[in-house]
Amino acid sequence: MEEEPTEAPLYIHIETNVFSYRRHKRQKEEDIAVCECQYDLMDPDSACGERCWNVSTNTECTPGYCRCGVYCKNQRFQKSQYARTRLVKTEGRGWGLLADENITAGQFVIEYCGEVISWKEAKRRSQAYEDQGLTESYIIYLNADESIDATKKGSLARFINHSCQPNCETRKWTVLGEVRVGIFAKQDIPIGTELSYDYNFEWFGGVMVRCLCGATGCSGFLGAKSRGFQEATYLWEDDDDRFSVENIPLYDSTDDEHTSIPKDTILAKDEPVTQENNSNVAHTTENPEIASSNEFTPLSVEPLMASSDELTPMTIEPLIAVPVGVDIMENGLTEYGAQYSDDTTQNSMHKVARLENQSSPQNNNHHTELVLVRPTPKFRGGKAKRGLCKQLNVADICDRLASAAARQEILFCEK
Ligand SMILES: C[S@@+](CC[C@H](N)C(=O)[O-])C[C@H]1O[C@@H](n2cnc3c(N)ncnc32)[C@H](O)[C@@H]1O
């Protein structure tokens, strides 16, 4: 079925994300999540294994801040601890990536690296690639604001094809303050098997690609279940809010809305692309000691903006701390307590991360609503800034309401 590669695809091979439109974030010390693991020679899992807090929140340990030191096993993105893989030419689906060793369920296979770009830029590039007649798409969503474009620069993950019955999945991890996207094995994968994941959540919109994955129950097109696809093919009713902003999940791995751009994404004809480490046969990705960084995101959501002359001054309360602590009990339930205080910023962040995380790696089937626990904003002098209350002009607001009933209701309440 598979042929050996004949000619090397053109792209620049990278093993760390490239930041094209903004700087790489610098992690502040107070934002570093420090776990409680301590290496015990007799217990290999003690060095940041499944029981590590950071692992359970999809956060990598920060070197220098983990007591397990060099034994810490939770720095896989940072150390590019990839599975061994190699390129193959497939029939009808271009290049693909094979497992070049037996991979076990849950194993980190490879990071999806590319250029981290804004959502706007992704949209622009997607159109440009399409206009250039490029037939493969390499842009995936990292989060609501950013995408990863592996069209010109990327890791071998860019060659992983879609399947409606995939053996891998994407997961987002926070690494040194940046979100990054990893491909993880959903099941044991024997050597020589083609790797695949479901593009359904990553489709960006645009040209439809007929899916040739061959799976029973194949959805027919790449990303056919994605929001982008449905938006492009569905006739909207006015009151249809299935894809309203409120319904857009916050970021996360296998279940959230990644997006791969439409089909025609690729290299500018006038900008030839080169491949570092150029080889036209197999690329292996075993343990390169290089760091990388980034992740996916969904949806084309136009910001809800109004021009200033349409707006009545409103009371704007800063988002202030919910005065409770939140904890996850061992059984996965959420526990609320009164342990929140100004100096628990780090803890709160950790807890939020833990909540977010429940819907991904180890608990992919358990979707938990995100409970947002925002730390009280700190200001110089250590005092929290409280709400700035401006007076609402209720009559003016009412003037702008189409419904008389709503106007009356508001005026009545205001009285
Ligand atoms: C991220 S690239 C995957 C690598 C690509 N095959 C290559 O040669 O570089 C995504 C593109 O591969 C093709 N592709 C991936 N999975 C496919 C599938 N199941 N059926 C048809 N085409 C597929 C589509 O053209 C898609 O835009």
Distance CA 356, CA 395 (A): 41
pLDDT at position 387, please? 39
Query: 217, 1, 15: which is closest to 93 by C-alpha?
Result: 1
Place of tokens 């250029």: 115
Contacts of 43 (CB under 8 A, 6+ apart): none
Amino acid identity for residue 93 in this structure: R
Q: How far is the CA of 335 from the centre of ligand 1 (A)?
A: 44
pLDDT at position 199, please? 87
Atom of ligand 1 nearest to the CA of 160: 3
* Pocket test residue of 199, 204, 209, 275 for ligand 1, highest count of atoms within 8 A of CB: 209
pLDDT by residue, tens only, the chain of 415 residues: 555 546 767 899 999 999 988 999 988 999 999 999 999 888 878 899 999 999 999 999 999 999 999 999 999 999 999 999 999 999 999 999 999 999 999 999 999 999 999 988 998 998 899 889 888 889 998 988 899 999 999 999 999 999 999 999 999 999 999 999 999 999 999 999 999 999 876 666 556 788 999 999 898 888 666 555 555 554 444 454 444 444 443 334 444 433 333 333 333 333 333 333 333 333 434 333 333 333 333 322 233 333 333 333 333 333 322 223 333 333 333 232 222 233 333 333 333 223 233 333 333 332 222 222 233 333 333 333 343 444 567 677 666 666 677 777 777 777 7
> Which burial class, exposed, middle or buried, applies to 348 when counting CB atoms under 10 A from its CB (0-12, 13-18, 19+)?
buried
Q: Is the ipTM of this complex over 0.85?
A: yes
Distance CA 83, CA 40 (A): 26
pLDDT at position 85, please? 98
Domain architecture of the chain: domains with CATH: 12-35+74-247 (2.170.270.10), 305-415 (no CATH)
pLDDT at position 281, please? 32
H-helix or E-strand spanning residue 233 = helix 227-233
* Pocket test residue of 162, 168, 181, 265 for ligand 1, highest count of atoms within 8 A of CB: 162
- Phi first, then psi: what are they for 328, rounded to 5°? -105, 125
Q: Which residues line ligand 1 (CB under 6 A)?
A: 9, 93-96, 135-138, 158-159, 161-163, 209, 211-213, 222, 263
Sign, CA dihedral 266-272-276-280, equals: positive
CA distances from 197 to 25, 182, 404 (A): 28, 11, 52
